[in-house]
Amino acid sequence: MISLKQQKGLSSIGWLFVITIFGLVFTIVAKLAPFYLDNRFVVSTLHGLAEDATFPQMTPNQVRTKLKKTFSINNIRGKAVDSVKVNKVKNTTLVTIEYEERVNILFNVDVVLTFNSLLDSSRPSDCCSAASE
């Protein structure tokens, strides 16, 4: 019989378990990180638009054009670009970007990511807070 003083480290099964857990965590991070990175670019684009002095006077088409150019430069494509909504009411411009992404993690396990950003020209300092319904 082996004494406890001679036993050191993990067994083969223990190492297999640890490697499996790290592999699963790495897979999840690798699949979700690009979507969070794209959303970060979307939010930084809205912050840049909020700091633009001409933003309150822009028409909705000018806002969309400016956003699409910036998205193109940052290589943001897909649902984030297609979900831009610009509403101009009186002297206030509201830019809303709401979209969700579905990511297959493993077999039939999916993750749904929802992103909501709102820019109000009357309150540009509150840029990119979650859009309220």
* pTM for this entry: 0.81
Q: Are 118 and 85 in contact (CB under 8 A)?
A: no
Quick: pLDDT tens for 85-103. Answer: 999 988 889 999 999 999 9
- What does the block give as tokens for 120? 């109000």
Quick: pLDDT tens for 30-82. Answer: 999 999 999 999 999 999 999 988 988 899 999 999 999 999 999 998 898 99
- What does the block give as tokens for 123? 């309150």
